[in-house]
Amino acid sequence: MWLFTPFGFFSIVEKPKTDCLTVRTRTAGDLDRLREQYLPELSTTVTGAGTDYPYRATIGHEAFASGLAAIARDIHYGNFKSEVASRMGHERAKVYGELWSALLKLEQEERK
């Protein structure tokens, strides 16, 4: 699962032969914010142990689900990209906007 939030971007997977989730990011600060705000059970950040994401941590399914519920309860904004800009800055919002534009192709394909 990819999870875009106003405080970070995360890729969450269950690695083979494990019973926990691995939360991967491109920036260590995203994991720090996730741990501080919603997932205190998240393990310490491991750097450079993976292939395509430089930062990762692990957490159990139930603790992750509880954190996701808390994230959902904290949605109080009318525009996601504007919220990202106010929390993370315009550069991060610009990157998210580029992804939004790339995903627009899905809608355009469906209309054909």
Q: What is the pLDDT of residue 108?
A: 82
Alpha helices in 1-112 (DSSP H): 28-37, 61-73, 80-88, 90-111
Q: Is 1 helix (H, G, I), strand (E, B) or coil?
A: coil
CA distance 22 to 20: 7
Q: Are 5 and 27 a contacting pair, CB within 8 Å? A: no
Q: Within 10 Å of residue 10's Cβ, how many Cβ atoms?
A: 20
Lowest mean pLDDT: which of 18-22, 23-27, 54-58, 100-104?
A: 100-104
Q: Within 10 Å of residue 20's Cβ, how many Cβ atoms?
A: 15
Q: How large is the average pLDDT for residues 93-106?
A: 93
Q: How large is the average pLDDT for residues 61-89?
A: 97
Q: Are 35 and 56 a contacting pair, CB within 8 Å? A: no
> 13-41 pLDDT, tens per residue?
999 999 999 999 999 999 999 999 999 99
Q: What is the pLDDT of residue 8?
A: 97
